[in-house]
């Protein structure tokens, strides 16, 4: 226990030391979002029919089981998506202390409970207690309390084991590809989850098979215990709790074993290598990039992930008997592959120094060609296959494929030099190959930016193709080529003019000082303003768009589906005031963030700021 | 004769902290120049600015008369650089790194192949033919870095801590290469905090302390009658004598 407490204290110390205002703002924003989701889960415990079985309709137990399954999947796959999970304390730190694997695992596990995510999950799990109160007497509530705690331990342990397995999988090509496939499918399933709900809506509630499967998942065991207690089947309740304890012991053992594998060094590869046949500077860059795409297992994982995501994303509509999305599999793949490689220069790290020492070697162009050669053929093949299976339409998917390929090949290098997220140099990454940067939030933002901006590059071709057919393909090829050429040239010139600053950013992990005097650099803002800015930028969209504008549109259309729109839940005279309030709140949050970042300052102060 | 490297008034501050404070240094052609200083004295920052890897707040650098910032193509073709601790194209083998870089430098394919083979052999990296750079040991990374610095036959080498983590046998090899390079008319600047090594190799020394040049000149001028180590300790004002003991370590 002493080890566990020491590690917990160590994590508190690390978190406190690394807590700057920007991080604090992100933590606050994350906590608010998490609490909204947790609140939603607790709300689920209040709706539906608490009594299981008998009649069709939405049962509270089924809904809770589904919600907890989503929470569990979030714990398992969240780290995969955002870059390696919580690595505040790394097992490598303790290799020389000589702890036995189980003690190490137990200590690290204890430290894992310190943070926002476990606290938020605990709130979400408290819905079990609410459910216990609804279904009956004191006994279900008494059973719910240990169930809540055990479920949290299971979530955290599953997350750690999943991350550790991923780390090991990424040491071999087969493992990297397998992990990419499964992660892609599951994330697509989470993203397309509404399909299942639409399907369930048609049959009037979650079908018994699905609700049984949801309960058999470890996330449902706590629920089983509470339901059993409500029925008076105490042995079954005890068995469910005991099963969770057993699972915890097994997971802890598995994690301990995985930790020892992680801290031992990977074997060097001794495979034969194909000789490099390039003969020009640009050819050399293409050859280097293509080799990196095939040899770097993290990039293998990214590509298979994008592939699996795209294929499942479009084909899961087949569950509803619709195949109309299949021709667009290629387009989805291209966007996802672009999002995955958004931090192109950041992931390579400080190797940029070589580019700086060899001016005029058309580095960006080489990378664009390599990206197109890697992603293009697969994307095109997916489009053609999808359109062939459904028998068309042909012009729109092909137009989008061409436009998005070029668009992404232009945007990826451009965004990676303009919004570089400093990463950890590849040779310093340690036992977790997924962790390419300390700044997960920015990486995720960059990925979304590529999806958003990349999607925009497909708009002209999409519009022409949907109105006039085949000419859209020509437009797609034209805008694609234009993006590759133009955005690439912009990236090239930025690299030329800001190369040393980008290298410095990567060396130190800090962004260079901004030249503008009116825009205050984030780090220069007072602490209070930093928190206002972070919370405003990251959460302002929620009241403004879904709760404000979308809710207003829904209300105007007289929609009966209330979903999570507050304005549709409140009694009638208050609906519109809530919409207006939400819109104003959103504008105020963005406005506040903008105001603290960019405020008119006296000229002397601006000059002084520029001089420092 | 133009200097191989001329650094004039380099200044760099990171926030409040001044890392390099108006440094002037001149590296004559054909000299073997040692830059010494404590950890954090500003050696790496100075060298990075001298070759164009870090933009100075003020001041500049010329390599054989070519300004690093206004005429980078000329300046950078004349210099080979070994930075400390930066990444390489990690997923390439040693030979591939050299091939890639040679082509980037505009060398022809045959010349690249010939030089790469020779460099790998001399630096004893040819036995790890199929090993990717990311799997190299620290010493091997230094050696492949040195090979990339030498590949395009520069006239000036700027090496940041070239001997750190290099085993004694490899160190002897590297010393031999560098001496040969200087004997053939090349110029070398290296940074180190190992005084004995600088004394053994260099004919010119610059001492950097807290971002300023504390002394610069030929080895004899800087060290005077004593050893370089004594001169250094005196210059940077650290109290070498009367070092504190750890009482609990001795029995």
Best of B44, B66, B87 to disrupt the A interface (most A CBs within 10 Å) is B87
To the nearest whole angstrom, how far is the Cα of B221 from the nearest Cα of chain A?
34
The tens place of each residue's pLDDT in chain B, 251 residues long, gives: 788 889 888 898 888 888 888 889 999 988 999 998 888 888 889 999 999 899 999 888 999 988 988 888 888 889 999 988 888 898 888 899 999 999 988 888 999 999 999 999 888 888 887 888 888 888 888 889 999 999 988 999 999 988 888 888 888 888 999 999 999 889 999 998 888 888 888 899 998 888 888 888 888 888 888 888 888 888 887 655 555 677 788 76
CATH topology of domain B1-78+158-238: Rossmann fold (3.40.50)
Partners of residue B88 in chain A, C-beta under 8 Å: 351, 354
Nearest-angstrom CA–CA distance, A246 and A244: 5
**Would residue B20 be called left, alpha or beta, if left means φ above 0 and alpha means ψ between -120 and 50 degrees?**
beta
Distance linking the first and last C-alpha atoms of chain B: 61
Residue B8, helix vs strand vs coil = strand
To the nearest whole angstrom, how far is the Cα of B240 from the nearest Cα of chain A?
32
Mean pLDDT calculated for residue range A308-328? 82
Q: Is the peptide bond before B229 cis (omega within 30 degrees of 0)?
A: no
Q: Closest chain A residue to B73 measured between Cα atoms?
A: A359
Which helix (H) or strand (E) segment is B150 a member of?
helix B138-150
Residue B104 to residue A270, Cβ atoms within 8 A: no
To the nearest whole angstrom, how far is the Cα of A111 from the nearest Cα of chain B?
31
Residue pair A214/A220 in contact (Cβ under 8 Å)? The answer is yes
Residue A503 to residue B93, Cβ atoms within 8 A: no
Question: What does the DSSP assignment read for A2-40?
Answer: HHHHHHHHHHHHHHHHT--HHHHHHHHHHHHHHHHHHHH
Return all residues near A240 (Cβ < 8 A) that are at least 6 apart.
Answer: A147, A221, A222, A224, A225, A228
Residue A500 to residue B53, Cβ atoms within 8 A: yes
pLDDT at A439 over 70: no
Tell me whether B71 touches chain A (CB under 8 Å).
no
Q: Closest chain B residue to A283 measured between Cα atoms?
A: B103
Q: Per-residue pLDDT tens for B233-250?
A: 888 876 555 556 777 887
pLDDT of residue A563: 64
pLDDT at A434 over 70: no
Lowest mean pLDDT among A153-157, A381-385, A391-395, B173-177: A391-395
Q: A386: which 2 tokens?
A: 């999808």
Residue pair A361/A424 in contact (Cβ under 8 Å)? The answer is no
Nearest-angstrom CA–CA distance, A242 and A255: 20
pLDDT of residue A44: 80
Domain boundaries, chain B: 1-78+158-238, 87-153
- pLDDT over 90 percentage in chain A: 15
Tell me whether B110 touches chain A (CB under 8 Å).
no
Residue pair A59/A211 in contact (Cβ under 8 Å)? The answer is yes
A contact set with B (CB within 8 A): 268-273, 276, 278-281, 283-285, 287-288, 291-292, 295-296, 348-351, 353-354, 356-361, 425-427, 500-501, 503-504, 507-508
Confidence of residue A604 (pLDDT cuts 50, 70, 90): very low
The shortest CB-CB distance from A284 to any of B79, B87, B100 is to B100
Nearest-angstrom CA–CA distance, A291 and A568: 55
Confidence of residue A33 (pLDDT cuts 50, 70, 90): confident
pLDDT of residue B238: 62
Q: Closest chain A residue to B108 measured between Cα atoms?
A: A279
Residue pair A168/A431 in contact (Cβ under 8 Å)? The answer is no
Q: Which residues pair with B33 in a beta bridge?
A: B189, B204
Helix, strand and coil in chain B, % to nearest 5: 40, 25, 35
Residue B87 to residue A427, Cβ atoms within 8 A: yes
Q: Closest chain A residue to B104 measured between Cα atoms?
A: A281
Which helix (H) or strand (E) segment is A512 a member of?
none
Confidence of residue A607 (pLDDT cuts 50, 70, 90): very low
Residue pair B12/B49 in contact (Cβ under 8 Å)? The answer is yes
Which helix (H) or strand (E) segment is B232 a member of?
helix B228-236
Residue A288 to residue B72, Cβ atoms within 8 A: no
Mean pLDDT calculated for residue range A5-20? 76
Backbone angles phi, psi at B173, to 5 degrees: -60, -50
Backbone angles phi, psi at B120, to 5 degrees: -60, -40
| CA neighbor of A256 nearest in space, from A121, A35, A99, A143 | A99
The shortest CB-CB distance from A278 to any of B87, B91, B103 is to B103
DSSP code at position B82: E
Residue B99 to residue A427, Cβ atoms within 8 A: no
Q: Per-residue pLDDT tens for B36-79?
A: 888 888 888 999 999 989 999 988 899 998 898 888 888 888 99
Q: Write the secondary structure of A259-283 as one string of H (helix), E (strand) and C (coil).
A: HHHHHCCCCCCCCCCCCCCCCCHHH
Query: Measured between alpha carbons, how far is residue A251 from residues A4, A76, A164 in Å?
Result: 17, 13, 11
């Amino acid at each position: 226990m002493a080890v566990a407490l020491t590690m917990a204290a160590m994590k508190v110390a690390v978190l406190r030391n690394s807590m700057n205002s920007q991080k604090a703002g992100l933590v606050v924003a994350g906590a608010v979002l998490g609490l909204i989701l947790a609140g939603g889960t607790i709300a689920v415990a209040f709706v539906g029919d608490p009594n299981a079985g008998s009649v069709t309709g939405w049962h509270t137990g089924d809904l809770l089981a589904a919600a907890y399954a989503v929470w569990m999947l979030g714990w398992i796959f969240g780290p995969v998506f955002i870059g390696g999970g919580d690595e505040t304390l790394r097992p490598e730190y303790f290799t020389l202390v000589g702890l036995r694997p189980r003690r190490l695992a137990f200590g690290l596990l204890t430290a894992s409970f310190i943070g926002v995510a476990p606290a938020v999950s605990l709130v979400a799990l408290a819905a079990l207690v609410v459910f216990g109160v609804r279904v009956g007497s004191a006994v279900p509530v008494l059973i719910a309390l240990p169930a809540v705690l055990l479920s949290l331990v299971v979530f955290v342990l599953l997350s750690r084991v999943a991350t550790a397995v991923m780390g090991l999988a990424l040491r071999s090509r087969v493992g990297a590809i397998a992990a990419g496939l499964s992660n892609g499918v599951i994330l697509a399933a989470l993203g397309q989850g509404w399909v299942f709900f639409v399907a369930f809506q048609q049959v009037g509630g979650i079908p018994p098979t699905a609700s049984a499967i949801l309960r058999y998942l470890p996330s449902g065991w706590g629920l089983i215990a509470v339901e059993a207690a409500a029925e008076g089947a105490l042995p079954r309740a005890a068995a469910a709790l005991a099963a969770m304890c057993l699972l915890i012991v097994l997971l802890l053992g598995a994690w301990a074993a995985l930790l020892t594998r992680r801290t031992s060094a990977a074997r060097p590869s001794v495979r034969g290598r194909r000789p490099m046949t390039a003969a020009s500077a640009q050819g050399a860059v293409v050859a280097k990039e293509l080799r990196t795409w095939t040899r770097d297992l993290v990039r293998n994982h990214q590509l298979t992930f994008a592939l699996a995501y795209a294929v499942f994303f479009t084909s899961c509509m087949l569950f509803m008997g619709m195949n109309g999305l299949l021709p667009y599999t290629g387009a989805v793949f291209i966007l996802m592959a672009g999002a995955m490689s958004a931090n192109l220069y950041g992931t390579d790290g400080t190797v940029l120094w070589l580019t700086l020492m060899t001016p005029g070697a058309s580095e960006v162009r080489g990378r664009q060609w390599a990206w197109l050669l890697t992603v293009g053929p697969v994307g095109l093949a997916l489009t053609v296959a999808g359109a062939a299976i459904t028998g068309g339409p042909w012009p729109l998917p092909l137009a989008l494929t061409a436009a998005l390929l070029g668009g992404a090949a232009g945007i990826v290098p451009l965004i990676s030099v303009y919004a570089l997220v400093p990463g950890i140099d590849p040779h310093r990454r340690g036992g977790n190959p997924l962790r390419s940067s300390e700044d997960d939030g920015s990486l995720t933002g960059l990925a979304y930016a590529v999806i958003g901006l990349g999607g925009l590059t497909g708009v002209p071709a999409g519009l022409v193709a949907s109105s006039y057919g085949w000419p859209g393909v020509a437009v797609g090829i034209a805008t694609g080529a234009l993006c590759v050429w133009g955005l690439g040239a912009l990236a090239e010139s930025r690299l030329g003019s800001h190369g040393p600053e980008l290298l410095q950013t990567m060396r130190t992990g800090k962004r260079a000082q901004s030249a503008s005097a009116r825009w205050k650099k984030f780090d220069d803002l007072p602490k209070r303003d930093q928190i206002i800015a972070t919370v405003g930028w990251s959460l302002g969209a929620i009241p403004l768009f879904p709760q404000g504008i979308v809710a207003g549109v829904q209300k105007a259309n007289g929609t009966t589906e209330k979903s999570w729109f507050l304005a549709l839940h409140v009694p009638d005279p208050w609906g519109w005031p809530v919409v207006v309030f939400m819109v104003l709140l959103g504008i105020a949050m963005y406005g506040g963030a903008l105001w603290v970042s960019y405020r008119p300052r006296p000229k002397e102060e601006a000059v002084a700021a520029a001089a420092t | 004769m133009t200097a191989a490297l001329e650094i004039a008034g380099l200044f760099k501050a990171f926030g409040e902290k001044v890392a390099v404070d108006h440094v002037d240094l001149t590296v004559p052609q054909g000299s073997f120049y040692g830059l010494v200083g404590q950890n954090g004295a500003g050696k790496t920052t100075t060298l990075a600015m001298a070759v164009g890897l870090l933009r100075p707040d003020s001041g500049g650098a010329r390599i054989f008369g070519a300004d690093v910032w206004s005429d980078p193509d000329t300046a950078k073709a004349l210099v080979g650089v070994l930075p400390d601790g930066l990444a390489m194209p990690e997923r390439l083998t040693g030979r591939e790194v050299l091939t890639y870089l040679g082509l980037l430098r505009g060398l022809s394919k045959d010349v690249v192949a010939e030089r790469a083979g020779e460099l790998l052999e001399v630096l004893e990296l040819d036995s790890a033919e199929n090993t990717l750079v990311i799997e190299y040991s620290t010493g091997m990374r230094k050696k492949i870095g040195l090979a990339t610095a030498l590949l395009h036959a520069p006239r000036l080498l700027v090496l940041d801590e070239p001997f750190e983590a290099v085993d004694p046998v490899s160190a002897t090899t590297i010393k031999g290469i560098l001496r040969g390079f200087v004997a053939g008319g090349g110029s070398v600047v290296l940074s180190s905090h190992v005084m004995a090594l600088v004394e053994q190799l260099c004919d010119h020394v610059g001492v950097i302390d807290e971002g300023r040049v504390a002394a610069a000149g030929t080895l004899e001028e800087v060290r005077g009658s004593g050893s370089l180590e004594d001169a250094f300790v005196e210059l940077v004002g650290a109290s070498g004598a009367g070092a504190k003991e750890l009482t609990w370590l001795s029995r």
